[in-house]
A and B are shown apart, each in its own frame.
Chain A
Amino acid sequence: MQLQIRPKKPPIIVRPNSFLAWIGRAFMILLALVVSYILIRNLIEKPLFFVTNVINGLQLGFVYALIALGYTMVYGIVKLINFAHGDVFMVGAFVSFFAIERFDLHQWPLKIFPTMNSFIAIGIGTITTILLSMLVCVLMAVTIERVAYKPLRDAPRIAALITAIGVSFFLEYFGLLDFVFSARFIPYERPFDVVTWYISDGIHRMQSGETPPDNAIVVSNILIIIILSTLAVLLFLQFLVHRTKIGVAMRAASFDKPTARLMGIQVDQVISFTFAIGAAFAGLGGVLYAIAYPSIKTLMGVYPGLKAFVAAVLGGIGSIPGAFVGALIMGQAESMTASYISTPMRDAIAFTILILVLLVRPTGIFGEPEKEKA
């Protein structure tokens, strides 16, 4: 990752055949062997417990993916780590909270058409709530971009980075004020009921108060919704970036802004659009996260934001598939650490991954070493 002002000399890259790289590589291979040994042993000992952990990790990983996409897209196009992204995620959760708690927005179809099938009505109501959250996040992100980042477009990159941290703190501590979101932990009312199934001999829907048998794997509709929405978002992004005009413009702006401008691309609009898309996904992630872990607070975006950032770096910042794969790995790493080592270790492991990636392969899994542009 290169956050510094473009250096005069090419940055020092660990050459593939140098001694340091060999040590790094050997260390990584050793680490991978130890980790896979522990995991495989646990898989054999208690396969069910292992599968439960994988499922828990998937739920986290897919939410991280939604946030990581925003980090990676914005970085890809303006080379800015938008640290306020985690707080946009928080705002998404709060907007849906107010929509549900104050205005019953998730029940509007039932109020207008009382005879409607309740499943469809709740579905439409929930989607409306999510869309509203996404819209508010988009407006906020575009405003932030215009007010805080655009004036710094030609300033050194570090200035924009520090501004991003400032914006992040502003959102967090403005939100802590009593007349905004307050510092309380707020119980979140879910727009729909949780339905869980357990899989032992076939799939059974769990009744309330029922305890699943010992050899069952429990899956909830929240997990399925999170996975499906994230996959939909990914497909949409692939289509957007590779098959549409704005996608071409985004790729062009990412590759070379001055030339793109000469070719008639409205680079500023493309950048705003990128921020908007990233914020929309963060808003969606915020709502899904609040539904999955139904207690919200103003600082809820800090840790998921940082972990999604690690995921983006791990996958190769700037790469969309990289962000997704990185997020899934982060989700599993957290879940496995919490289950097989200890829960307080999981944050430490997450940031250790960041350090290791930066030391051994700064470009991440999918990233390519940065080419010097003319």
Chain B
Amino acid sequence: MKSFKILSVLVASVMLLAACGGGGGGGELKIAILAPLSGPVPTFGEMTRDGALLAIEEWNAKGGVLGMTIVPIVEDSQCTPDPAVNAANKVINQDGVHYIIGEVCSKASIPVSEIANAAKVIQMSPTSTNPSVTVDQNGVTKTYIYRACFIDPFQGLVGAKFAYENLGYRKAFVMVDQANDYVKGLAENFKTAFTDLGGEIVGEASYTANDTDFSSILAQIDEADPDIVYLPDYYNIVNLVTAQAKDKGMNVPFMGGDGWDSADLNLEAAAGGYFTNHYSPDSDAPLAVDFRAAFEAKYGKTPDALAALAYDATNLLLAAIEAAGADDTDKVATALNEISFEAVSGTITFDEQHNPIKAATILKVTTEGVQFETVVNP
């Protein structure tokens, strides 16, 4: 129902535009937006849809892409494999789209990517971080599938760079939960990147997700005397570790990844720490400032990472179509492989696995809240 409403509004506006423009190349370019508008994460879906629609509106205002008006088709994919597959089949077979923005959740993006890749339809997921979205079981990159966000382990690299170059730290201690792939991926990348830069890993300690008492590890950290402790776990572990460190009078800063991003993060304890994330609305990059203003003017709410990444994903795709010079997915895929695109969340280029190499946002934790610190390019 909702999608129908949006569709009718857009069709009306397209007709209006067509009536005014007239002189353009004519025709329309359909882009499907698969977003979880119902299901477990409806707010993710709304933000994604709003970000993508804002980008399309801006392109249409400039005269569309290659003279064609862009027509969005919004489908509710529910962050769940089955509805997402149904939506993907519908937009590909009935609507005949060649381009899909979505899905948000990796578990829905992966089955969609198989359908899209087989149908030679370009899929650009804004926020799915699972490596299998763009790579199949045999490790072969799916030709037509891309994403606009960096994958999780990449944050370790950016974190190391920030700690070494911006903060000037040379000695790092790494804490890792060996049973958690997310934590392990970030920690491994951090270690490699930090040593490659010339830093030293002065110690490493592992723990399990059940642990509550971290005093032994903290004693080891005190012994090793690092400049920074890398703890890329979720907020629950971060809360326990930082609170106990503070009790012991340890002032060494902690650093982590987007697992820290939670309303339940204990600001008092984690104050002084840093974490990497995809985007911050407080970013001072000119593009990010413009995007925030446009988004707030249109929707009356502050954009979050999902909106920014959906906006980036849409712009990236449209820029690639323009660069390719034709509505031909093979040419667009080639264009994407070579693109270097200025996006809200940083300059994006793609590696051979179709994962973007792009800047990450560094946030600083203070007792008042989480603040934007800087943007670090890899």
Choose one: A56, A198, A289, A347; the contact of B215 (CB below 8 Å).
A56
How far apart are the CA atoms of A305 and B248 in the complex, in Å? 26
Residues of B within 8 A of A339 (CB): 216, 219-220
Nearest chain A CB to B233 CB, angstrom units: 11
- A contact residues, range: 35 or more
Choose one: A184, A206, A295, A343; the contact of B249 (CB below 8 Å).
A206
Q: A52-B219, A295-B240, A342-B206 given as contacts; is B212 within 8 A of A211 (CB)?
A: no
Q: A184-B264, A187-B264 given as contacts; is B247 within 8 A of A343 (CB)?
A: no
Check B243 against A295 for contact (C-beta < 8 Å): yes
How far apart are the CA atoms of A186 and B250 in the complex, in Å? 23
- Mark interface residues in A212-243 (1 if CB within 8 Å of B CB, else 0): 10000010101000000000000000000000
- Mark interface residues in B202-228 (1 if CB within 8 Å of A CB, else 0): 000111101111011101101100000
- Mark interface residues in A327-350 (1 if CB within 8 Å of B CB, else 0): 000000011001100111001000
Check A196 against B247 for contact (C-beta < 8 Å): yes
Check A185 against B215 for contact (C-beta < 8 Å): no
Minimum CB distance partner of B212 in chain A = A293
The answer, yes or no, to whether A308 is at the interface (CB within 8 Å) is no
Residues of A within 8 A of B210 (CB): 302-303, 347
Check A222 against B247 for contact (C-beta < 8 Å): yes
The answer, yes or no, to whether B347 is at the interface (CB within 8 Å) is no
The answer, yes or no, to whether A297 is at the interface (CB within 8 Å) is yes
Residues of A within 8 A of B266 (CB): 187, 294-295
The answer, yes or no, to whether A49 is at the interface (CB within 8 Å) is yes
Choose one: B207, B236, B240, B251; the contact of A211 (CB below 8 Å).
B251
Residue of A56, A294, A295 with most chain B CB atoms under a 10 A cut-off = A295
The answer, yes or no, to whether A262 is at the interface (CB within 8 Å) is no
The answer, yes or no, to whether A16 is at the interface (CB within 8 Å) is no
Check B215 against A343 for contact (C-beta < 8 Å): no
How far apart are the CA atoms of A271 and B349 in the complex, in Å? 71
How far apart are the CA atoms of A279 and B211 in the complex, in Å? 24
Check B240 against A49 for contact (C-beta < 8 Å): no
Which residues from 57 to 100 on chain B have a C-beta closer than 8 Å to any C-beta of chain A?
none
Residues of A within 8 A of B213 (CB): 56, 59-60, 293, 334, 338
Choose one: A46, A198, A343; the contact of B207 (CB below 8 Å).
A343
Check B217 against A295 for contact (C-beta < 8 Å): no
Residues of A within 8 A of B38 (CB): none
> Which applies to chain A's interface (DSSP): helix, strand, loop or mixed?
mixed
Residue of B205, B215, B243, B266 with most chain A CB atoms under a 10 A cut-off = B215
The answer, yes or no, to whether A372 is at the interface (CB within 8 Å) is no
Choose one: B240, B246, B249; the contact of A293 (CB below 8 Å).
B240
Residues of A within 8 A of B236 (CB): 185, 295, 297
The answer, yes or no, to whether A209 is at the interface (CB within 8 Å) is yes
Residues of B within 8 A of A184 (CB): 264
The answer, yes or no, to whether A300 is at the interface (CB within 8 Å) is yes
Residues of B within 8 A of A56 (CB): 213, 215-216, 219
How far apart are the CA atoms of A347 and B205 in the complex, in Å? 15
The answer, yes or no, to whether B235 is at the interface (CB within 8 Å) is yes
The answer, yes or no, to whether A210 is at the interface (CB within 8 Å) is yes
Residues of A within 8 A of B249 (CB): 196, 198, 206, 210-212, 218
The answer, yes or no, to whether A53 is at the interface (CB within 8 Å) is yes
How far apart are the CA atoms of A180 and B357 in the complex, in Å? 44
Residues of B within 8 A of A194 (CB): 246-247
How far apart are the CA atoms of A165 and B48 in the complex, in Å? 46
Minimum CB distance partner of B238 in chain A = A295
How far apart are the CA atoms of A130 and B102 in the complex, in Å? 51
Residues of B within 8 A of A335 (CB): 215-216
How far apart are the CA atoms of A222 and B220 in the complex, in Å? 21
The answer, yes or no, to whether B239 is at the interface (CB within 8 Å) is yes
Nearest chain A CB to B248 CB, angstrom units: 5
Residues of B within 8 A of A186 (CB): 264
Check B235 against A185 for contact (C-beta < 8 Å): yes
- Mark interface residues in A310-331 (1 if CB within 8 Å of B CB, else 0): 0000000000000000000000
Residues of B within 8 A of A210 (CB): 249
Residues of A within 8 A of B206 (CB): 342-344
Check A49 against B223 for contact (C-beta < 8 Å): yes
11 A-B residue pairings within 8 Å (CB atoms): A52-B222, A194-B247, A210-B249, A218-B248, A293-B213, A293-B244, A295-B212, A297-B236, A339-B219, A343-B208, A344-B178
Interface residues of B (CB under 8 A from A): 178, 205-208, 210-213, 215-217, 219-220, 222-223, 235-236, 239-240, 243-244, 246-251, 264, 266
Q: Which 3 A-B pairs have the closest CB atoms?
A: A185-B236, A338-B216, A56-B215
